[in-house]
Chain A
């Protein structure tokens, strides 16, 4: 295949990626869209392997199989609940690869024009930030470290200083365009960018991490595009830019679903933090606890029940038990609906995926607005493993980190039942006043165990 043939194949792959993104935007065509994207990627890989007269081909094929194999294994083995971490991880390694490509392409040549220098620096810095930032989001989501915002003493100045150092090193490299100390500067630049990536993610609270993953995803895309510019490869430019642009839009949409601007998501921890400690010492306050039988009676004799599933349900793998409970209640003539918060779980849409996995009928799933409009006529709101998405602090306390986030107004239901492991606050690390409300009943324990007991009790009514 000659040069025009190669370019034509890249064009086909680029169109495949556009169709993939287009397809992924609608439920009907999503899966087909993803397959089209995969086909485009395979085509591009085969073309580059067969037409470029590469050295070291056996080694390249070997590590490709190795990397791809690890990717497939991780993708197939991971639990649905751990999906966000895995996406973060894949994104990080992609950013790392883009940065490495830029480093090698730059050192492999002599003196560079300004545009190429700038693209190199951009790819290295943004790719490195994406790599270390994604690694940290992984640590937060996997709960290897605290999920609360971490603000280092003078953290803001360390961040700003690192950013300035990155810019200075970048400008120097872009302007001088190579030369003998260039490799050293590149290494310094990459290390600074890695540090900056960590500082960038540290102050972000656990609940906001998915938005940051989406942003870093867009970063990696742009880094890939810059690498493509260096290599003069049109496909990399198109694919990287598509992801960069669509990722930016998606990040904004996600931030909107959380009900606040992106800037407060990223930098909110540096601002008002005083109000978070208001309910300290809450553990000593009385709460009303109930037995599974109490809960079964409340549910069994209700006219209308709204189920509010959260991440805790998914962790306990209690989706099937919840569906069984819902079916039992429907058989008893109780009207049952699921109220799904847009960010229930760990990512927007995550809970829909998890419930679909458990074969919950689609028509019982109500989006937040619809569920809220019916909440005041609801007898019992059963909150299973959720906390932040029903926390009224989002409406009532302006200092709270989640203030402004739309929530499911379960406090408007006649009574509320929380199935929770403990009084521990939710992922965002904020206490929930609702747990102490007189119309709230707590049933402590693993969500699946509790649900199974409640199911048994309902059967015995």
Chain B
């Protein structure tokens, strides 16, 4: 499956999946969705680890390690920040239903 055409096939199919998956999304979720997608492309970490692990010579290794650090920040930070955003939507009940008691932690974080 690693032939050029095989990879191209995967690429084209993934384009359609990507289009389909987010076709209908409310404006309320645009920000978390962008942030979540941002975290997903942090998987370039896998590529960075591969090139760093095969690097020969100091320059190559340095560049490879820089790539690993950047990719790790993208991936880990991306998922954490998305989770923090989505945490804010937690406990939101449908109109008419009683709301759970406001959590103190959300209030404290407001000032940070």
Contact of A34 among B71, B73, B77, B83 (CB under 8 A): B83
- The answer to whether B53 touches A55, judged by C-beta atoms less than 8 angstroms apart, is yes
Closest chain B CB from A106 CB (angstroms): 10
Question: Which residue of the partner chain A has the closest CB to B80?
Answer: A75
Query: With A and B bound together, what is the CA distance between A342 and B66 in angstroms?
Result: 38
Interface residues of A, dominant DSSP: helix
- Give B60-93 as 1s and 0s: 1 = Cβ < 8 Å from A's Cβ atoms: 1101111111111111111111111111111011
- The answer to whether B51 touches A101, judged by C-beta atoms less than 8 angstroms apart, is yes
Given contacts A68-B76, A71-B77, contact A350 B31 (CB under 8 A): yes
By a CB distance below 8 angstroms, the chain B residues around A217 are: 34, 37-38, 41
Given contacts A41-B79, A356-B89, contact A60 B53 (CB under 8 A): yes
Asked if A195 is an interface residue, CB under 8 A from chain B, the answer is no
Stretch with Cβ within 8 A of B (4 or more), from A21-29, A150-158, A330-338: A21-29
- The answer to whether B41 touches A224, judged by C-beta atoms less than 8 angstroms apart, is yes
Query: With A and B bound together, what is the CA distance between A18 and B2 in angstroms?
Result: 21
- The answer to whether B72 touches A63, judged by C-beta atoms less than 8 angstroms apart, is yes
Question: Which residue of the partner chain A has the closest CB to B78?
Answer: A90
By a CB distance below 8 angstroms, the chain A residues around B4 are: 115
Q: How many residues on A have C-beta within 8 angstroms of the other chain's C-beta atoms?
A: 119
Per the 8 Å Cβ criterion, residues 41-74 of A in contact with B are 41, 44-45, 48-49, 52-57, 59-60, 63-68, 70-72, 74
Interface centre among B1, B33, B41, B63 (most CB of A within 10 A): B41
Contact of A60 among B29, B34, B37, B49 (CB under 8 A): B49
Closest chain B CB from A47 CB (angstroms): 8
- Give A83-120 as 1s and 0s: 1 = Cβ < 8 Å from B's Cβ atoms: 11011001101101110110111011000000100000
- The answer to whether A71 touches B74, judged by C-beta atoms less than 8 angstroms apart, is yes
- Give A326-370 as 1s and 0s: 1 = Cβ < 8 Å from B's Cβ atoms: 000000000000000010000111101110111101110001000
- The answer to whether A56 touches B55, judged by C-beta atoms less than 8 angstroms apart, is yes
Contact of A347 among B31, B39, B70, B72 (CB under 8 A): B31
Closest chain A CB from B7 CB (angstroms): 5
Closest chain B CB from A316 CB (angstroms): 11
Q: How many residues on B have C-beta within 8 angstroms of the other chain's C-beta atoms?
A: 91
Asked if A413 is an interface residue, CB under 8 A from chain B, the answer is no
Given contacts A90-B74, A93-B74, contact A63 B65 (CB under 8 A): yes
Question: Which residue of the partner chain A has the closest CB to B94?
Answer: A362
Query: With A and B bound together, what is the CA distance between A102 and B26 in angstroms?
Result: 36
- The answer to whether A87 touches B68, judged by C-beta atoms less than 8 angstroms apart, is no
Query: With A and B bound together, what is the CA distance between A247 and B39 in angstroms?
Result: 12
Query: With A and B bound together, what is the CA distance between A221 and B7 in angstroms?
Result: 16
Given contacts A55-B53, A68-B76, A71-B76, contact A243 B26 (CB under 8 A): no
- The answer to whether B22 touches A21, judged by C-beta atoms less than 8 angstroms apart, is yes
Interface residues of B, dominant DSSP: helix
- The answer to whether A45 touches B36, judged by C-beta atoms less than 8 angstroms apart, is no
Asked if A202 is an interface residue, CB under 8 A from chain B, the answer is no
- The answer to whether B32 touches A24, judged by C-beta atoms less than 8 angstroms apart, is yes
Query: With A and B bound together, what is the CA distance between A101 and B82 in angstroms?
Result: 25
Asked if A35 is an interface residue, CB under 8 A from chain B, the answer is yes
Closest chain A CB from B59 CB (angstroms): 10
Question: Which residue of the partner chain A has the closest CB to B109?
Answer: A357
Contact of B110 among A17, A31, A319 (CB under 8 A): A319
Question: Which residue of the partner chain A has the closest CB to B35?
Answer: A87
Contact of A67 among B53, B72, B81 (CB under 8 A): B72
By a CB distance below 8 angstroms, the chain A residues around B67 are: 96-97, 100-101, 104
By a CB distance below 8 angstroms, the chain B residues around A83 are: 31, 35, 81, 85
By a CB distance below 8 angstroms, the chain B residues around A359 are: 99, 102, 106-107
Query: With A and B bound together, what is the CA distance between A359 and B34 in angstroms?
Result: 24
- The answer to whether A347 touches B34, judged by C-beta atoms less than 8 angstroms apart, is yes
Chosen A-B contacts, 21 in total, with CB atoms closer than 8 Å, are A22-B21, A26-B25, A54-B49, A67-B71, A67-B72, A68-B76, A70-B73, A71-B73, A75-B81, A93-B74, A100-B66, A104-B55, A214-B34, A217-B41, A228-B47, A229-B11, A233-B46, A246-B18, A246-B37, A349-B31, A352-B28
Q: Measuring CB to CB, which residues of chain A are less than 8 angstroms from any residue of chain B? A: 7, 13, 17-18, 20-22, 24-27, 30-31, 33-35, 37-38, 40-41, 44-45, 48-49, 52-57, 59-60, 63-68, 70-72, 74-80, 83-84, 86-87, 90-91, 93-94, 96-98, 100-101, 103-105, 107-108, 115, 213-214, 217, 220-221, 224-225, 227-229, 231-250, 253-254, 257, 317, 319-320, 342, 347-350, 352-354, 356-359, 361-363, 367
The 9 nearest A-B residue pairs measured at CB: A245-B18, A71-B77, A54-B53, A67-B72, A67-B69, A363-B95, A348-B30, A241-B14, A94-B74
